[in-house]
């Protein structure tokens, strides 16, 4: 089988760390996290994982993998909760990368949509064929035309994992307002961090060549989001421990300590916005 080549320094390479992190977490913490797709996709890539394998021996790097996995579990919880009352809803992965959360939440009747930049969607296309109720959309999230392809007549739940931190405050607000306008009764879920978290990510932003780093979104208080869509209901939970107790015995005391610091000090949160109205 011909493997899909990931070129060093390419945009597609930015997908490798979260993908590898999910694979590693499924191996290290099997009682906490299940993700067979991550290992399968890694095996399908022509990429040198040796440096990541070396770093994976580090306790802090393993915590980073756990962090990525907990975020996905949080998103899945919110999606499943929405599908319980809207079983035919659209499940929309915004900035999807190579993530398969939509499929993990597939209830047999929902629609699954994956939105990302064209080169990322091409990688998805070559690595994983879209399912019967699945549509890949190549688009910049800030070009709202992609929303035309979403059938939200039976409800819609939008989620963005590790995406909103790369948007400016104004971009995040405009995107949220447009979703609320187009998809009444829908739900948006995304992760955010406080000012300290943004500082800690400074090098990551710099590596991506982001010139608008100072304007990127951070939330000291999720109440700031309420003004984006005054008619919506906003709530939040801790990123690491807000949904799950991390009871896997492989999760160390240090990991749990760091998890509490992430939720409390770094203000890593999962933000949920429920739009007013009913699906049209």
DSSP 166: G
pLDDT value of residue 90: 98
DSSP string, 204-265: HHHHTT-TTGGGB---S-GGGGGGTSTTSEEEEEETTTSS-----TTS-HHHHHHHHHHHHT
| Contacts (Cβ under 8 Å, ≥6 apart) of 200 | 266
pLDDT value of residue 142: 96
Reduced to 3 states (helix: H, G, I; strand: E, B; else coil), residue 112 is strand
b/e string for 138-171 if b means 16 or more Cβ within 10 A?
bbebeeeebbeebebebbbbbbbbbbbbbbbeeb
pLDDT value of residue 5: 85
Q: How far apart are the first and last CA of the chain?
A: 45
Distance CA 4, CA 45 (A): 5
pTM of this prediction exceeds 0.85: yes
pLDDT value of residue 207: 54
Q: For residue range 226-271, what is the model confidence (pLDDT) as tens digits?
A: 999 999 999 999 999 999 888 888 888 999 999 999 999 999 999 9
The two three-digit tokens of residue 142, written as one number: 């800030």
Residue 130 has pLDDT above 70, yes or no: yes
Is the separation of the CB atoms in 180 and 231 below 8 Å? yes
Band of residue 205 on the pLDDT scale cut at 50, 70, 90: low
pLDDT value of residue 96: 93
Distance CA 135, CA 133 (A): 7
Residue 18 has pLDDT above 60, yes or no: yes
Which domains are seen in the chain, by residue range?
Answer: 4-274 (3.40.50.150)
Q: For residue range 145-180, what is the model confidence (pLDDT) as tens digits?
A: 999 999 999 999 999 998 998 898 999 999 999 999
| Contacts (Cβ under 8 Å, ≥6 apart) of 214 | none
Residue 190 has pLDDT above 60, yes or no: yes
Distance CA 125, CA 4 (A): 11
Average pLDDT of the residues in 10-32? 83
Residue 138 main-chain phi, psi, to 5 deg: -90, 110
Distance CA 37, CA 43 (A): 10
pLDDT > 90: percent of the chain? 50
Distance CA 186, CA 173 (A): 16
pLDDT value of residue 9: 72
Q: For residue range 48-95, what is the model confidence (pLDDT) as tens digits?
A: 888 888 988 888 888 888 888 899 999 999 999 999 999 999 999 999
């Amino acid at each position: 089988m011909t493997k899909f080549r990931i070129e060093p320094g390419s945009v597609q390479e930015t997908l490798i760390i979260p993908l590898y992190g999910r694979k590693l977490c499924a191996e290290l913490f099997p009682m906490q996290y299940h993700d067979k797709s991550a290992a399968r996709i890694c095996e399908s890539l022509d990429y040198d994982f040796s440096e990541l394998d070396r770093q994976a021996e580090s306790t802090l790097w393993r915590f980073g993998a756990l962090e990525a996995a907990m975020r996905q579990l949080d998103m899945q919880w919110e999606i499943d909760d929405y599908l319980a009352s809207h079983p035919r809803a659209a499940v929309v992965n915004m900035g999807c990368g190579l993530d398969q959360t939509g499929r993990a939440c597939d209830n047999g009747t929902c629609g699954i949509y994956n939105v990302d930049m064209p080169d990322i969607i091409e990688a998805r296309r070559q690595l994983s064929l879209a399912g019967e109720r699945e549509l890949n959309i190549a688009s910049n999230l800030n070009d709202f035309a992609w929303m035309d392809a979403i059938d939200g007549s039976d409800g819609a739940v939008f989620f963005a994992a590790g995406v909103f931190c790369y948007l400016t405050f104004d971009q995040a607000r405009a995107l949220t307002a447009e979703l609320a306008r187009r998809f009444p009764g829908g739900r948006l879920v995304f992760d955010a961090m406080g000012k300290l978290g943004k500082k800690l990510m400074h090098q990551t932003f710099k590596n991506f060549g982001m010139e608008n780093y100072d304007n990127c979104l951070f939330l000291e208080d999720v109440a700031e989001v309420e003004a984006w869509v005054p008619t919506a209901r906003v709530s939040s939970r801790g990123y690491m421990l807000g949904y799950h107790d991390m009871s896997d015995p492989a999760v160390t005391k240090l990991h749990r300590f760091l998890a509490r610091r992430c939720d409390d000090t770094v203000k890593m949160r999962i933000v949920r916005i429920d739009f007013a109205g009913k699906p049209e």
